């Protein structure tokens, strides 16, 4: 008897593209706004007009209240609603910062072509809050007012799922407070670094370790919690969030050679932060000396949960952004009449900020994938008109 693998059976007709469920027609959206009014909106006005952003912002505050550790609870609420980056108060004068900058360059943590005002922009003691802060660069992921709250609220839910499953399946006594507070606190220097500009975009993170613009908030928040003398497990979580599982794999004939370079990178992040915070990372309980070298100690499940739950960005950026950004450019051109400088300036940035903050980059992408360009276009038209 032939085994049936599907409706057509073995050798039957090709199934073709799968018909996924649709949802755009059921969306409850705010009344349509004119593009002119959207261009005039401030980041706070845009965030407060969004149920998605206000909801995730309030969810973060509620989550902070749920923490058992009183110190973590206060820290999380501060970072959400009244943030400040205090470690730079150790360097009050321009000369102090120039000296620190030279030290960081000499140690290979900063690029000599930059300058202190670039790597540490002004305003660290009175930045915006999570309500308005974007999550990444202007053309990366959750790049809109309140995108930071959206990113972190989702990541915390991922962490809760990891924690629950490791507890239930393996019986591990994982502490919930640590991954929850760490995922939020880890991101909070972005409220300072991503300062809004008149063209509807914002400052990008400065290049720091490994000469890229991905890790400034990571080493700054690690330095911040060192400066405040928080316990070593939460400081470790700040540094471990990005690249602890980074793997450099190669082949030796038929044998896979796995080099887990992420462990060295976490160590590197800690060393760079320790210079800014003026602490010894070994005395702090973060690194160990082994064979004359500073190395990362083995890490428990809580640290791995923080790292794994900080991983929604590849889907948001590598899938959603890859399609929604050019799609919005086309809609802006064909339907809203934008061209030339408007496509590179405030008009398009505000359109993008509004659509993504109201609907979400991922839902817009899923409408496009499941229902096609016309459905995505119609959804945008329900939100924005000429």
How do residues 236-286 score in pLDDT, each as one tens digit? 999 999 999 988 999 999 999 999 999 999 999 999 999 999 999 999 999
Assess whether pLDDT exceeds 60 at residue 1: no
How do residues 81-130 score in pLDDT, each as one tens digit? 999 999 999 999 999 999 999 999 999 999 999 999 999 999 999 999 99
Q: Please give the mean pLDDT across all residues of the chain.
A: 95
pLDDT tier at 312 (50, 70, 90 boundaries)? confident
How do residues 119-171 score in pLDDT, each as one tens digit? 999 999 999 999 999 999 988 999 999 999 999 999 999 999 999 999 999 99
Assess whether pLDDT exceeds 90 at residue 10: no
3-state secondary structure the chain: CCCCCCCCCCCCCCCCCCCCCCCHHHCCCCCCEEHHHHHCCCHHHHHHCCHHHHHHHHHHHHHHHCCCCHHHHHHHHHHHHCCCCCHHHHCCCHHHHHHHHHHHHHCCCCCCCCCHHHHCCCCCCCCCCCCCCCCCCCCCCCCCCCHHHHHHHHHHHHHHHHHHHHHHHHCCCCCCHHHHHHHHHHHCCHHHHCCECCCCCECCCCCCHHHCCCCHHHHHHHHHHHHCCCCHHHHHHHHHCCCCCCCEEEEECCEEEEECCHHHHHHHHHHHHHHHHCCCCCCCCCEEEECCEEEECCCCHHHHHHHHHCCCHHHHHHHHHHHHHHHHHHHHHHCCCCCCHHHHCHHHHHHHHHHHHHHCHHHHHHHHHHHCHHHHHHHHHHHEEC
How do residues 25-42 score in pLDDT, each as one tens digit? 999 999 999 999 999 999
How do residues 330-376 score in pLDDT, each as one tens digit? 999 999 999 999 999 999 999 999 999 999 999 999 999 999 999 99
User: Average pLDDT of 313-325?
Assistant: 93
Res 42: pLDDT: 98
Assess whether pLDDT exceeds 70 at residue 4: no
């Amino acid at each position: 008897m032939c085994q049936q693998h599907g409706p057509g059976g073995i050798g039957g007709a090709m199934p073709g593209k799968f018909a996924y469920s649709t949802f755009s027609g059921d969306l409850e959206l705010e009344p349509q706004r004119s593009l002119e009014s959207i261009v005039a909106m401030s980041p706070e006005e845009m965030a407060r007009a969004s149920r998605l952003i206000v909801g995730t912002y309030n969810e973060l505050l509620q989550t902070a209240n749920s923490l058992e550790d009183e110190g973590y609870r206060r820290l999380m609420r501060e970072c959400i609603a009244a943030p400040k980056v205090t470690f730079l108060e150790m360097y009050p004068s321009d000369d102090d910062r120039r000296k620190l900058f030279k030290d960081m360059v000499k140690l290979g943590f900063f690029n000599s072509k930059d300058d202190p005002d670039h790597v540490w922009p002004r305003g660290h003691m009175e930045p915006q809050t999570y309500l308005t802060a974007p999550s990444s660069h202007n053309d990366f992921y959750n790049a809109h007012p309140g995108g930071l709250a959206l990113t972190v609220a989702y990541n915390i839910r991922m962490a809760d799922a990891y924690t629950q499953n490791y507890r239930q399946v393996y019986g591990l006594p994982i502490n919930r407070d640590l991954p929850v507070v760490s995922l939020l606190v880890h991101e909070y220097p972005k409220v300072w670094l991503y300062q809004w500009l008149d063209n509807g975009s914002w400052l990008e993170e400065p290049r720091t370790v490994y000469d890229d613009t991905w890790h400034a908030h990571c080493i700054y928040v690690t330095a911040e919690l060192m400066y405040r003398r928080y316990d070593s497990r939460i400081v470790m979580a700040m540094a471990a969030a990005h690249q602890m599982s980074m793997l450099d794999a190669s082949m030796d004939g038929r044998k896979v050679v796995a080099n887990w370079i992420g462990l060295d990178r976490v160590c590197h992040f800690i060393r760079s932060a320790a210079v800014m915070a003026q602490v010894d990372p070994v005395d702090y309980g973060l690194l160990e000396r082994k064979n004359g070298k500073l190395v990362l100690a083995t890490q428990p499940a809580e640290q791995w949960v923080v790292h794994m739950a900080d991983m929604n960005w590849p889907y948001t950026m590598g899938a959603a952004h890859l399609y929604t950004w050019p799609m919005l450019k086309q809609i802006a051109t064909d339907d809203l009449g934008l061209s030339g400088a408007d496509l590179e300036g405030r008009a398009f940035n505000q359109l993008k900020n509004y659509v993504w903050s109201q609907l979400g980059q991922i839902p817009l992408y899923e409408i496009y994938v499941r229902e096609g360009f016309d459905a995505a276009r119609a959804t945008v038209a329900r939100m924005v008109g000429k």
